[in-house]
A and B are shown apart, each in its own frame.
Chain A
C-alpha cells in the first residue's frame, strides 16, 4: 500500500479550479518531487494534500485511508508535516519555541525530539533562545523543517525549501532532505531547481496546467529529452 495516494484531485480557490485531475503516489521512505512551470498548481497540490485547500473531486489516501478535506490538525496527528515556502517560522518566538510548536499535538515528543533536531541542525543549538525572525534565510528553513519534524511525521511536505537560498545553503538543504528520508520519512517536495531535485528523487511528477504531464522515476525524467527540453531548460 502506498504511503500517499492521490487520485484525480480537483480543487482551487473560490470556484476557480487550479487542479484539474492530478494523480500522485509515493511509497514509504521515498522522495517524490513535483516540478513544472509557474502556475502549474505545484504548491496548490501540496496545500490540497494538507487540507489547506478544498478538494472538490477525487480522493487522497494516506496509508489507504481517505483524508481529503480533513482539518489540518487531524492530518498532523496522523503523521503529516508541512513546511510552507514563505512565512514558515514564527518570527517573535525563539528558535526553541518554534520547534516546540511543531510538537503541539505531541507534547511528549518535545524533550527527545528537541535534542535530535539540534543534533541534526547544529547551527540552531546556539541560537535556540534567539527570536526566529532574526535568523538568516537558510537558518529559518532549518527551523521550519525542524518544526515539522518535531511531530515525527511519516510524510513531510516541503514547498520550495531552497527558494531564495545561496548555492551553499541549497546543497546543505538537499543533503538534509536526503538524511531525513534515510531516517524513514517519506518526502514530497515542490522544487524550482528541478535538475538537482530530480537527481535525489525516487518519483518525479511534472505538472502543467493542473494535470500530470509526466510521471516516472526521477532518473528517468532527467534522462527524458522531451522533459529536458520543455521543463528543465534544455
Chain B
C-alpha cells in the first residue's frame, strides 16, 4: 500500500498540478487562436511576466497577506492579472494590430509573437536575473501530510498549500470562463467571432472590442498560470520555451479553438508527463518475490528521465498531428 500512496503523491497530485497549469495556459492560447487565428508564441513569457509582477509586488509589500491569513502572493495575484492583461492589450496595439491592418499571413503573426517573446524575455531577465526565486518572500510554504488510515501504510499523502490554492483557483477559473462564454453577451460574441468573423461584424459586433477582451482574458489567465507554477516550485525567468510546447500540445490535443478541449488537453499532457517520468518499478516492487528468477526487475523503469520531460508533449503533438490533426474535440482550424 505504501507504493500506492507513493503513486498518488507522484502521479495523481503532481499530474493534477501540472495539468491545471497547462490547462489554464492552453485556454489562453486557444482563445487567441480562435479570435486572431495565429499561434501566440509569447504566451509562455506572458505567464512569466504575470509571475514576475506577483514577485515584484510581494517583495514590495511582504506583509500584505498576514492581515488576511493568506500568503501574500495570492493577494497580489489579482493586481498582477490586471497588469498582465494591460500588457497583453498594449502588446497587441503596438505589434499585432498594425499587422492586422496590413492583412498579413497568419505565419507573420507567429514570427512577430516570437519577437515579442524575446523582448519580454530580455526585459524580465534584465530585471529579475536568470536564477530561480521563491515567491514566498515572507510567508512559509505549508505542507500538509495526511496520514492514510490503513494498516501498514507509513507514507502520508503530501499536499502543499499552494497546490490546494491551485486546485481551487483552477476550478474557479474554469467555472468563471464557462459562465462568461455561455451566459454573458461579450462571451457569446467571442464565440460568434470565433465561428464566423465576417458575420459577427455584420451583426454589429465590434471586432476590435472582442480582440481586446480576448487579450484581457488570455493575459489574466496567463498571470494565474504563471503564478501558480511559480508558487508550486519557484519563479524561473527562463521557462518560456519549455512551457510553450506542452501548452501548444494541450491546445492542439483539445482541438484548437475549443476552450473546454484545451482544459482536457492540459490534463492529458500534464498526466502524460508525470506518468512518463514515474518510476514504474516502484509499483512492481511488492510483487518482486513472486516474479520468476529470469525476470529481474531493473531499479529504474521510467519511460523517460526527467531531463527528457519535454519529449512527452512533443510525442503527443506528433501523434495527434498524424492521427487526428483537428484534435479530440474537432477543432476549427488546422
Contact = CB atoms under 8 A, between A and B. Distances in A.
B196 A50 contact: no
Contacts of A50: 202
Contact of B199 (A89, A92, A105): A89
A195 B24 CA distance: 57
A72 B196 CA distance: 15
Given A73-B204, A76-B203, A76-B204, A101 B198 contact: no
Interface string B188-230: 1101100110111111111000000000000000000000000
B152 to A, nearest CB: 53
Interface in A142-169: 147-148, 151
A151 B203 CA distance: 9
Contacts of B192: 90, 93, 97-98, 101
Contacts of A97: 188, 191-192
Contact of A90 (B185, B196, B201, B206): B196
A88 B205 contact: no
Contacts of B188: 93, 97, 100-101
A107 B185 contact: yes
Chain B residues touching A, majority SS: helix
Interface in A53-77: 72-73, 75-77
Contacts of B200: 90, 101
Nearest to A88: B199
Nearest to B189: A104
Most-contacted residue by chain A among B189, B191, B202, B206 (CB, 10 A): B202
A134 B201 CA distance: 22
Contacts of B199: 84, 87-90
A52 interface: yes
Nearest to A102: B203
Interface of B: 185, 188-189, 191-192, 195-196, 198-206
13 contacts: A52-B198, A73-B201, A84-B198, A84-B199, A84-B202, A87-B198, A89-B196, A93-B188, A97-B188, A98-B192, A101-B205, A102-B203, A105-B204
Interface of A: 50, 52, 72-73, 75-77, 82, 84, 87-93, 97-98, 100-102, 104-105, 107, 147-148, 151
